[in-house]
Amino acid sequence: MGENCSLLKAENLTMVYNSPQGPLEALRGLSLQVQEGEFVGIVGPSGCGKSTLLRLLSGLLKPTSGRVLWRGKLLDGPREEMGFVFQKANLMPWRNVLANVTLPLEIRGFNGDEAREKAIELLKLLGLDGFLHIYPRELSGGMEQRVALARALIYDPEILFLDEPFSSLDALTRERLNVELARIWHIKCKTVVMVTHSIQEALFLADKVLVMSPRPGTIKASFDVPFPRPRDISIIYSPQFASLAKAIRGVIS
Ligand SMILES: Nc1ncnc2c1ncn2[C@@H]1O[C@H](COP(=O)(O)OP(=O)(O)OP(=O)(O)O)[C@@H](O)[C@H]1O
Ligand SMILES: [Mg+2]
């Protein structure tokens, strides 16, 4: 795919926050490209500006300088084609699972039956069909994140931004959700940009892993991930996986 057809392109992004202690430069001169259908993983040290980058890429925040292009046009705010899952699921406690997932469609004025049908289908795909009428307080952390994923997928976004969505989960649940996410990405063929602390998670899921420098964050290195798809979780124990993980670890400060 040529340079001009990138779905999402960041050019020379600099972000300076005005904090009470004075200006704080979170990102400096960061550029990247995301192609349609690509799964991009972003790793970097804590505080290097990963969440800031996701907010800029999704139009939730405006850069101090530089620009973000969506399909070649300047992005000036969040778009309907974009979906988000953050570290915390932020479900509505007074709505059950089904009603949490249909919410984005209700906001968009969809008919209730149609919304429910779509939600049930997605919740099935995520293994939650037995929990439609349960309230968030009765869900485990892994289930909450799956509901958040369903809520983000329900309006068929073209791109999904994931900010450490599984970081609060135990290793096994996280591994299961990684497998689930890979499967859904495969079925739905979405473009995904995922921030994670875990090199292993990035390598298992992504086509390309970008490594950020410490703050002010910029892209320090890019690794293509060669493992064929669909990927079995057992690849994480292969020598090739280990050596790529080691190479990425070596670049992170
Ligand atoms: N709204 C804000 N106002 C002022 N400073 C901010 C704001 N948001 C983030 N920062 C600062 O910008 C820097 C980057 O923050 P950011 O949350 O993007 O990092 P991160 O890489 O996502 O960190 P973590 O890995 O801990 O999630 C940090 O020093 C943070 O304190
Ligand atoms: Mg963050």
Tell me whether strands 159-163 and 82-85 are parallel, antiparallel or unpaired.
parallel
Count other C-beta atoms under 10 Å from residue 107's C-beta: 9
Spatial CB neighbours of 107, under 8 Å, sequence gap ≥ 6 = none
Q: Shortest CA distance to 40 belongs to which of 238, 212, 217, 233?
A: 212
Query: Ligand 2 centre and the CA of 15: distance in Å?
Result: 15
Q: Give how far Cα 142 sits from Cα of 31, 158, 214, Å.
A: 33, 24, 30
Query: Ligand 2 centre and the CA of 116: distance in Å?
Result: 32
Element (H, E) at 210: strand 208-212
Residue nearest to atom 9 of ligand 1 (CA): 52
Predicted TM-score of the model (pTM): 0.93
Task: Render each residue's pLDDT in the chain as its tens digit; 253 residues.
Answer: 444 569 999 999 999 999 999 999 999 999 999 999 999 999 999 999 999 999 999 999 999 999 999 999 999 999 999 999 988 889 999 999 999 999 999 999 999 999 999 999 999 988 899 999 999 999 999 999 999 999 999 988 999 999 999 888 888 888 988 998 898 888 887 899 999 989 999 999 999 999 999 999 999 999 999 999 999 999 999 999 999 999 999 999 7
DSSP letter at 127 equals T
SS3 116: helix
Q: Does 18 contact ligand 1 (Cβ within 6 A)?
A: no
